[in-house]
Amino acid sequence: MAASPRPALAEERPAQADYESLKVAAEWYAVLQDAEAGARQRAAWQRWLDARPEHRRAWAHVEKVSRRFALLRADGEREAAEKAMQVAARRPPSRRLAAGRVLALGGAGILGWLAWRFTPLPVAVTAWRSDYATSIGEQRGIVLADDTRVWLNTRSAIDVQFNQDHRLLTLAGGEILVETGTDPRQRPFFVDTRYGRLQALGTRFTVREMDDDVLLAVYDGQVRIQNIAGGDALVRAGEQKRYTADGISMAAPADPAREAWSRGVILAENLSLADLIAELGRYHAGYTGVDPRVAGLRVVGRYPANDRDRTLAMLERDLPIRVQRTLPWWVTLEPR
């Protein structure tokens, strides 16, 4: 049984910074990237920064999102460079202005790749050490030796160990959908998480590591939960449960949205706008915030997980909101 925590791939959220401070921080960031920004603007920004601790926390979060966006861009450039090298080897011997420029931040080429490659990010380290992994916004399906099918959601990683005694997946972080194959040797099929072990009994199910627990939803067959403290529970088709190292929740109806992502869809059935945007944020490197005045609006529909602009356009069409793009990677939803 898994007994030691692994680095989580869950998205960090700035709960300690209020919405208004985050909004103003992003606006200041855009202003300061403008080549025309001078000493007067920087002095005003410094006064704002020093005025309240919340302002410093908001500014730190804006900088963190900016670095993450730049690192992912550098990773994309690394992949493009690698492809170019492979091809070559086969051959013979104002604010709007600031927003447009912000994409140039973070370095490029080999320097950008080195910054990405050697930055001690837990997510990246986990992915490098895992047998299979996905990056932000990527989903991947694999077929194992016993014909088990596994889909990895955004920012997810697993290790696979098949031996003469068992078939074992270890979820290093993120979310997976598993459809177990039939093993002629009848070896048991396990999934280890940081809070315990799951045993699949001829089944189709999803497992997602949350910030504070693990969510299991079963769509076919049954799955047994055994947490680190020795708790034991059987989850049947159509049910879902959450568990921690020392507790297992009561069963609830399995949420169809928990497997819709394998088809590239975010399924909203009377979901709050804030919850929908939080889910959408898992698939994108930038920040998408919701004004508290519209956060509670209820949403029903099917939205493309990997096309943020299209999803936001759909929401802007159907709800009394407008999309405010302060930076290419910083978007907020406000009352219309």
| Residue-level pLDDT at 211 | 86
Domain contains 211: yes
Q: Which residue segment(s) compose the domain that 83 sits in? A: 19-119
Q: Are residues 225 and 288 located together in one domain of the fold?
A: no
Q: Are residues 298 and 194 located together in one domain of the fold?
A: no
Closest CA to 331 of 69, 155, 123, 73: 69
Read off the pLDDT of each residue in 240-264 and give the average, rounded to a whole number: 93
Alpha carbons within 13 A on the beta-carbon side of 299:
27
Number of structural domains found in the chain: 3
CATH number of the domain where residue 311 is located? 3.55.50.30
Q: Are residues 271 and 298 located together in one domain of the fold?
A: yes
Q: Are residues 244 and 153 located together in one domain of the fold?
A: yes
Q: Are residues 184 and 211 located together in one domain of the fold?
A: yes
Position 264, amino acid: G
The span from the CA of 160 to the CA of 131, in Å, is 7
Domain contains 129: no
Domain contains 7: no
| Residue-level pLDDT at 11 | 41
How many residues make up the chain in this entry? 336
Strand-pairing partners, residue 220, are: 204
Q: Are residues 114 and 165 located together in one domain of the fold?
A: no
* Two tokens, residue 210: 């949350």
CATH number of the domain where residue 178 is located? 2.60.120.1440
**Residue 102 DSSP symbol:** G
Domain contains 283: yes
Read off the pLDDT of each residue in 15-39 and give the average, rounded to a whole number: 81
Read off the pLDDT of each residue in 156-171 and give the average, rounded to a whole number: 95
pLDDT for residue 169 is more than 60: yes
Domain contains 3: no
| Residue-level pLDDT at 72 | 56
Q: pTM higher than 0.75, yes or no?
A: no
pLDDT digits (tens, 9 = 90+) for 199-230: 999 899 999 999 899 999 999 999 999 999 99
How big is the chain by its Cα radius of gyration, in Å? Answer: 22
Domain contains 236: yes
* Two tokens, residue 74: 């550098």
Q: Are residues 142 and 251 located together in one domain of the fold?
A: yes
| Residue-level pLDDT at 5 | 43
Q: Are residues 153 and 212 located together in one domain of the fold?
A: yes
> Picking from 26-35, 82-91, 120-129, 305-314, which range would have the lowest pLDDT averaged per residue?
82-91
Q: Are residues 246 and 322 located together in one domain of the fold?
A: no
Strands 189-193 vs 167-173: parallel, antiparallel or unpaired = parallel
Q: Are residues 245 and 151 located together in one domain of the fold?
A: yes
